[in-house]
Amino acid sequence: MTQTHASCAAPEAAGNAHPVVEAKAAIDGFLSEFMAFQDDIHATMQQQQEERLTMLDRKHAAAVSRPVLSRADDTGAPHLKAFDVYLRSGDDSAMRGLDLETKGLNTQTAGQGGYLVDPQTAEAIRGVLHATASIRAIASVVTVEATSFDVLVDHSDVASGWATETGPVSESTGHSIDRIPVRLHELSAMPKASQRLLDDSAFDIEGWLAARIAGKFARAEAKAFIDGDGADKPRGFLHHDKIADDVWEWGSLGYIATGNDGDFASVNAADAIVDLVYALGAGYRANGTFVMNSKTAGAVRKMKDNDGRFLWSDGLAAGEPARLMGYPVLIAEDMPDIATDSYAIAFGDFGAGYTIAERPDMRVLRDPFSAKPHVLFYATKRVGGDVSDFKAIKLLRFAED
């Protein structure tokens, strides 16, 4: 408005300005000031909106980056805290004071036998075991509460035929059911740590314990599932009797010979692998997997068929297993090397052919006396394994017959 008064006063002083020009100048000045005022309001509102959005973005980013905490009512949280105290100091008063029956943890044992590993640590251990390259990855795994698990195999055929409306229906005859017990055995590991390390609050005792236990368990399991003798350990599938596939009978594993002692045949070497695949019944072959160690895989992947194409193909996606004749390959380092009379390659439906039974609980006993100044952690779990269907697994024998 100050400019408007000034512009009106100027013509009076000059004495020669027209009223229309004077009014136009006043309107132009008003519009200019209004537009400037409007721009200021718009800029202020935009700045405030950006500040609000920035604040929301910061809150969202903080929410995303914030670690997921256990819910206050999580049944494992009290056990986790008490377990942490027990591992660090040996104080088991909180463990003994837990009302486990109301929290679904009623399988806790007495302090003399150790205490149950908290659910989070146990899940980490189980996750590592399932991810490890062992028969566990392709076998049937069941969780039991008993000390053994029975697999029932029915060998009888259900009678079938074309029936008329009034004709008789044949009944099944020759019932034959095999009961295969899978006994559970105690698997143990004994990692140790110094008390000074345990006193450090920044030390992740549960994560350290889970990694050490899982590593020991995985190595022991992987070997036992292949060649364990069944004495205080699972019985591996290679520990069973082997018999030539053309005279195969239940209770043993059938094998195909390469035709050359300690090696593949010098001519048409790949034929033995083709014969191994088709020795398996069609119902099992659909879910077949090869099992061999790295040395054997190195020899097999050089093989070509009669048209010069490699039998071996690597997985196209990350984490996808290699394939041999279109079937996945599990690299299990506990399989024997190629040698005279060795069974270096197995092929079968291990989901049907091999069963692993285990208890869900895992225990840890703290021992501060046996290895001073270190503290031993005696961890145990119960697991068993055995062949559950002898028709589902075939072996390749590196021999003439």
- Out of 67-81, 132-146, 157-171, which region has the weakest mean confidence (pLDDT)? 67-81
HSE (side-chain half, CA atoms, 13 Å) at 216: 16
Share of the chain above pLDDT 70, in %: 73
Cα-based angle 98, 101, 106 (whole degrees, multiple of 5): 90
| Digit-coded pLDDT (tens) for 110-143 | 445 566 776 777 777 777 676 666 899 999 999 9
Using pLDDT thresholds of 50, 70 and 90, give the confidence band for residue 228.
Answer: very high
- Out of 57-61, 296-300, 369-373, which region has the weakest mean confidence (pLDDT)? 57-61
Task: Give the separation between CA 50 and CA 53, rounded to whole angstroms.
Answer: 5
| pLDDT of 46 higher than 80 | no
Q: What residues pair up with 358 in beta bridges, in sequence order?
A: 143, 383
Q: Which residue has the higher pLDDT, 265 or 40?
A: 265
Write down the pLDDT at residue 100.
41
| pLDDT of 2 higher than 70 | no
Q: Contact 291/346 with Cβ under 8 angstroms?
A: yes
Kindly state the tokens that stand for 96.
Answer: 């003994």
| pLDDT of 76 higher than 70 | no
Cα-based angle 227, 229, 231 (whole degrees, multiple of 5): 145
Residue labelled with tokens 């486990």: 100
Q: In the chain, helix, strand, coil percent, each to 5?
A: 40, 20, 40
Task: Give the separation between CA 44 and CA 49, rounded to whole angstroms.
Answer: 9
Segment 146-155 shows an average pLDDT of 84
Write down the pLDDT at residue 170.
61
pTM above 0.75, yes or no: no
Segment 147-159 shows an average pLDDT of 76
Max mean pLDDT range (60-74, 103-117, 264-278): 264-278
Query: Residue ranges per domain, the chain?
Result: 77-96+109-154+177-232+359-385, 237-357+387-397
Task: Give the separation between CA 179 and CA 389, rounded to whole angstroms.
Answer: 11
Considering the four listed CATH numbers 3.40.140, 3.20.20, 3.30.2400, 3.90.550, the one that applies to the domain covering 77-96+109-154+177-232+359-385 is 3.30.2400
Domain 237-357+387-397 has CATH 3.30.2320: yes
- Consecutive H or E run containing 121: helix 119-131
Q: Give the residue ranges of DSSP H helices in 228-315.
A: 271-279, 282-285, 294-300
